[in-house]
Structure 1
Amino acid sequence: MRNMPACNAYVPDYTALAALGKRLHVAVGADSGQEVAARGGHGLAQRLGRDVDVFPSHHAGFASADGDFPGQPEAFAAKLREVLA
């Protein structure tokens, strides 16, 4: 929880982000629900007038499938290739 105060106090440069146009993708995890990471992603996308890209698993869906907080790395990689194409 050490990084939470700094993350919560951060204010993005919305103008600079909006200027990126279609190069900017805001991603959230399908299983993140209303966790802080997902709320931040949805809020940023809404502020920029964009949709989110929903990735499989949670906000660390790229993590090993057999770790302490298992993700779906293969499905995450497939979604990442789709979004970047």
Structure 2
Amino acid sequence: MTQAVNIRDAKAHLSRLVARAAQGESFVITNAGKPLARIVPIDQPAPQARRVGFMGGQFSVPDDFDRMGRNEIARRFDAGT
């Protein structure tokens, strides 16, 4: 589990935190309980963000997608004119 460290404590004990990170620990620096930064050992890969397109090939978009509902939309917006 990643330990949360207040930014003031992190400033006061930075060298200790870096030494602990070098031993494999990771930390989240917070300010007023809000996470600001993650300190991880350099040989530990950072968590990978989910990439766009992760569902590629799982479904298809109809060729007329941009025209679907065109008449209904026109009818609703042109009703007041």
Identify the structure with the greater strand proportion. Answer: 2
How high is the TM-score relative to the length of structure 2?
Answer: 0.25
Identify the structure with the greater helix proportion. Answer: 1
Largest Rg, 1 or 2: 2
